[in-house]
């Protein structure tokens, strides 16, 4: 191929502009990204060579070499991995097929434009070289190709790049960075070694650099022809826990997750038995931008006998734990395992179950700690990931009890952080149920009329305001033998908490109020299934409830907002016969208007929407206008 000049894809041009003008908070990550890419290339060769051993050619030992040339002002990263053909070089280095490119650029253009750690998160790590270089040259040959099929790719990071065919004896790839003025600090063996030690110590391949020795005549360190490893060349998860510092665990997490913050917690274990595997799993401290994408691939990398298999083995972790990052290295799975085989494998099922239990144990350790710092950590974790963890109650029957103990809610006693266990400990003597109300917002829940009798009697009620709560409640019926009971469903029954005198008084009032109830039922026959008196109201005139078997009004609204059809079911209107507005009904000439207003106010109080707001306004106006 003669030398060709080609244009970058439009998205690449944008990224290159942002890289060269915005990513300067942590310049040294360019080396982390390029060494990581070199390691991936070696992993790919190892994988392809499982069926084609000849791809190793005459160099079976995989390695990465890094060196610099002070006079030429270049840094070179070489791997003897899979390499690229001319077509692959154009495709991989000139275009980006990654769906996250827009999100990447949106993040860089927003508040996080200085965050260089974002670059690896979206598969565009190669371009980080332009943070320190004004020109990148890539010389490569794909494993198995002839020496005459080498490729040279080069660009100054503007709008174009050049590609040409070259002679290249060895397979693999050289990435040559031509440093821009002011980046001389990287033309230092000590600097490069420290960066590799910081970011790439865990890489299982040796990263080699020319050996330095003291020259007595020159009184300085000089470079020799000998190469020496500058990383431990052992995958972090294969090393003994006693040999790994907390800082190394945290740095490895940042490397695999592209997260700048330290993880909330991590666990590192070797599991032996019928299924043998090593797990190194992390719970992030902050939610990723794509947390709510349930179709997103998982964050767990799969290795088999230290051979990299895939980046996103979602079969190894349930969907509700999709935020977990880490590595699983199996001793039993076949090296040619596919995604389809992962879904069916009994070994994978055992790994998934074991990893799920280990993650839940990690969260339990943080949640149950008496250390105030750990309690604060869990509170922040719950704010970030609580809604996702609630998905697990319906997906993971085996761990339902463990999950329910991890859940936290707002209640009439606290705006957040209330567990089921906390609630049960505070239950009144004689209280038989765990009471809750669902609503769109905390304010709506707190001010729900259904809570009035519970407040009067000092009974705590959980305030469930997450969209996932209704779905959770369809799978979670009780905790510690105590049924979960909605304060907005069925008739209010406080059991032993309501004395006989109160019940007799309520029955007497209901009997005396029967004529008014019949008129209300007639006036509201198209809107309410029933109208009845209630003991649950103290200050409000009326409230909306549904029968025990019916869908809650909150869930029906959510389905409607999502464009789905909710089952048709009329609510029940409960009225407080002691309220002045309700007492006024009897004998008032505007009975029908008052009945409709009573219903509309009850609907608004529980977060509903009026079907005919104009009619409501007209009725209220008529009511406020003096008769005469």
Provide the pLDDT confidence category of residue 566 given band limits of 50, 70 and 90: low
Q: Does one domain contain both 453 and 578?
A: no
Nearest to 155 by CA among 184, 175, 183, 125: 175
| pLDDT for the residue 246 | 94
Q: Does one domain contain both 397 and 432?
A: yes
| pLDDT for the residue 82 | 94
Instruction: Dump the DSSP string for 213-253.
Output: EEETTTTEEEEEEEEEE-S--S-GGGS-GGG--HHHHHHHH
- Given CA atoms 538, 542, 548, 554 in this order, what sign does their dihedral have? negative
Nearest to 490 by CA among 435, 431, 566: 435
Which of 203, 232, 261 marks a domain boundary?
A: 232
Within 10 angstroms of residue 143's Cβ, the number of other Cβ atoms is 22
Q: Is residue 427 part of a domain?
A: yes
306-341 per-position pLDDT tens digit: 777 777 777 889 989 989 999 999 988 886 677 777
| pLDDT for the residue 108 | 52
Structural domain boundaries, residue 599: 498-624
Residue, of 513 and 62, whose pLDDT is higher: 62
Which CATH number does the domain housing residue 255 bear?
Answer: 3.30.230.80
Which residues are within 8 A (CB) of 616 and not within 5 positions of it... i.e. 6 or more apart?
Answer: 596, 597, 600, 610
pTM: 0.68
Q: Is residue 372 part of a domain?
A: no
Q: Does one domain contain both 185 and 64?
A: yes
Q: Does one domain contain both 579 and 613?
A: yes
Q: Does one domain contain both 152 and 288?
A: no
| pLDDT for the residue 309 | 76
Q: Does one domain contain both 203 and 246?
A: no
Q: Does one domain contain both 103 and 157?
A: yes
72-102 per-position pLDDT tens digit: 999 999 999 999 999 999 888 876 544 344 5
452 contacts 602 by C-beta, under 8 angstroms: no
Which CATH number does the domain housing residue 220 bear?
Answer: 3.30.565.10
Q: Does one domain contain both 64 and 143?
A: yes
Q: Does one domain contain both 41 and 187?
A: yes
609-628 per-position pLDDT tens digit: 888 899 889 988 988 887 64
Q: Does one domain contain both 159 and 197?
A: yes
Q: Does one domain contain both 522 and 588?
A: yes
Which CATH number does the domain housing residue 514 bear?
Answer: 1.20.120.790
Average pLDDT over residues 579-607: 87
Distance of alpha carbon 580 from alpha carbon 540, whole angstroms: 10
Bridge partner residues of 195 (DSSP) = none
| Number of domains forming the structure of the chain | 4
Q: Is residue 380 part of a domain?
A: no
CA terminus-to-terminus distance, the chain:
98
Average pLDDT over residues 229-248: 88
Q: Spell 354-369 as b/e; 16+ CB within 10 A means b.
A: bbbebbbebbeebbee
Mean of the per-residue pLDDT values for the chain?
85
10-43 per-position pLDDT tens digit: 777 777 776 666 555 578 878 988 998 898 899 8
Provide the pLDDT confidence category of residue 5 given band limits of 50, 70 and 90: confident
Question: Residues 27, 31, 32, 35: what is their CA dihedral angle, to the nearest 10 degrees?
Answer: 170
Q: Does one domain contain both 145 and 111?
A: yes
Q: Is residue 513 part of a domain?
A: yes
Which of 165, 200, 232 marks a domain boundary?
A: 232
507-565 per-position pLDDT tens digit: 787 788 888 999 999 999 999 989 988 888 888 999 888 887 777 766 776 666 666 66
E-strand stretches of 120-206: 133-141, 150-155, 160-166, 172-179
> Which region among 139-148, 198-207, 208-217, 485-494 has the lowest average model confidence (pLDDT)?
485-494
């Amino acid at each position: 191929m003669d030398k060709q000049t080609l244009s970058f894809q439009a998205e690449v041009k944008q990224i290159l502009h942002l890289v060269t003008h915005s990513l300067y908070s942590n310049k040294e990550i360019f080396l982390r990204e390029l060494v990581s890419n070199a390691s991936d290339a070696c992993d790919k060769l190892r994988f392809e060579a499982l069926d084609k051993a000849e791809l190793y050619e005459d160099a079976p030992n995989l390695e990465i070499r890094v060196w610099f040339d002070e006079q030429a002002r270049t840094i070179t990263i070489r791997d003897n991995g899979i390499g690229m053909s001319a077509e692959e070089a154009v495709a991989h280095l000139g275009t980006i097929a990654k769906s996250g490119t827009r999100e990447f650029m949106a993040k860089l253009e927003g508040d996080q434009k200085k965050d260089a750690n974002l670059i690896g998160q979206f598969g565009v790590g190669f371009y980080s070289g332009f943070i320190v270089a004004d020109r990148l040259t890539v010389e490569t040959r794909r494993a198995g190709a002839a020496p005459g099929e080498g490729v040279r790719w080069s660009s100054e990071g503007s709008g174009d790049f050049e590609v040409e065919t070259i002679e290249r004896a060895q397979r693999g790839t050289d990435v040559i960075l031509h440093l821009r003025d002011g980046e001389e600090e990287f033309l230092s063996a000590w600097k490069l070694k420290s960066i590799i030690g910081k970011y790439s110590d865990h890489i299982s391949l040796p990263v080699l650099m020319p050996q330095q020795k003291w020259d007595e005549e020159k009184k300085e360190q000089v470079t020799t022809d000998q190469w020496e490893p500058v990383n431990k060349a052992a995958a972090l998860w294969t090393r003994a826990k006693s040999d790994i510092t907390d800082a190394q665990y945290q740095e490895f997490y940042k490397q695999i997750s592209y997260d700048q913050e330290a993880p909330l917690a991590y666990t590192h274990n070797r599991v032996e038995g019928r299924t043998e595997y090593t797990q190194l799993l992390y719970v992030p401290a902050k939610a990723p931008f794509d947390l709510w994408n349930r179709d997103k691939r998982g964050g767990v990398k799969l290795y088999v006998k230290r051979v990299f298999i895939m980046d996103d083995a979602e079969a190894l972790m349930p969907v509700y734990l999709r935020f977990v990052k880490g590595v699983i290295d199996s001793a039993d799975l076949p090296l040619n395992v596919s995604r389809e085989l992962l879904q069916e494998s009994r070994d994978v099922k055992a790994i998934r179950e074991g990893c799920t239990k280990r993650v839940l144990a990690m969260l339990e350790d943080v949640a149950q700690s008496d250390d105030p710092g750990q309690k604060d950590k869990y509170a922040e974790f719950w704010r970030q990931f609580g809604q996702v963890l609630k998905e697990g109650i319906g997906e993971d029957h085996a761990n339902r009890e463990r999950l329910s103990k991890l859940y936290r809610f707002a209640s009439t006693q606290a705006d957040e952080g209330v567990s089921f266990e906390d609630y049960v400990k505070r239950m009144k003597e004689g209280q038989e149920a765990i009471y809750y109300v669902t609503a769109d917002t905390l304010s709506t829940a707190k001010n729900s009329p259904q809570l009035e009798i519970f407040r009067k009697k000092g009974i705590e009620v959980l305030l469930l305001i997450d969209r996932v709560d209704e779905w959770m409640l369809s799978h979670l019926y009780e905790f510690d033998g105590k049924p979960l009971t909605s304060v907005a469903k069925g008739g209010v029954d406080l059991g032993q908490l309501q004395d006989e005198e109160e019940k007799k008084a309520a029955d007497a009032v209901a009997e005396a109020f029967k004529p008014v109830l019949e008129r209300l039922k007639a006036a509201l026959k198209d809107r309410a299934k029933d109208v009845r008196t209630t003991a649950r109201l103290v200050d409000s005139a009326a409230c909306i409830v549904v029968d025990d078997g019916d869908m809650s009004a909150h869930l029906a609204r959510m389905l409607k907002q999502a464009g789905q059809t909710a089952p048709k079911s009329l609510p029940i209107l409960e009225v407080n016969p002691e309220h002045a507005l309700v007492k006024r009904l009897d004998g008032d000439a505007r009975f029908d208007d008052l009945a409709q207003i009573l219903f509309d106010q009850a609907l608004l109080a529980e977060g509903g929407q009026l079907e005919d707001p104009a009619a409501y306004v007209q009725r209220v106006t008529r009511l406020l206008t003096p008769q005469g």
